[in-house]
Amino acid sequence: MGSVPTRIREQVRRRALFRCEYCRIPESYHPLPRFHVEHIFSKKHGGSAELSNLALACPECNRKKGTIIGSRKHPESEFIRLFHPRVDVWIEHFEFNWAIIHPKTDIGEITSKMLGFDDDFRITFREYLMLLGVYP
């Protein structure tokens, strides 16, 4: 699983309480066996494999995020960075409206859009987890 040593990978998983640090899905209820330890800033953007630049991400968030670090709301608008799990507080940028993750800030809006938080499948999966009482 990449260049992150096992010891560091386990520290990241424990620090995240075994949940995706972006969409908050619990790892133990995801159909795939293990979440990804991802670089918040990819190597191509100068990111390192240090704990301060690593986050636990479900396969959906990790795949959609890739090396993206942000975007614009409109072509003419300013660049807005993605949510940064080591710097930002999740509840300051997002809130739950049943199984919908509602953005509260521009950072939340860009992150939700780029990571596809509210794709139909993801909403349905979160609803299922809510009915089980394990989400959020």
- Looking at residue 2, its pLDDT comes to 56
Residues in CB range of 65: below 8 A, 6 or more apart: 22, 38, 57, 82, 114, 115
DSSP 8-state symbol, 76: T
- Looking at residue 1, its pLDDT comes to 45
C-alpha 28/C-alpha 31 separation (Å) is: 8
- Looking at residue 4, its pLDDT comes to 87
pLDDT tens digits along 72-92 = 998 999 999 999 999 999 999
What residue ranges do the domains of the chain occupy? 6-132
pTM value is 0.94
- Looking at residue 13, its pLDDT comes to 97
pLDDT tens digits along 116-129 = 999 999 999 999 99
Residues in CB range of 16: below 8 A, 6 or more apart: 55, 56, 85
Residue spans of the chain under pLDDT 70: 1-2
C-alpha 72/C-alpha 83 separation (Å) is: 14
User: What's the burial of 93, exposed, middle or buried (CB within 10 Å: 0-12/13-18/19+)?
Assistant: buried
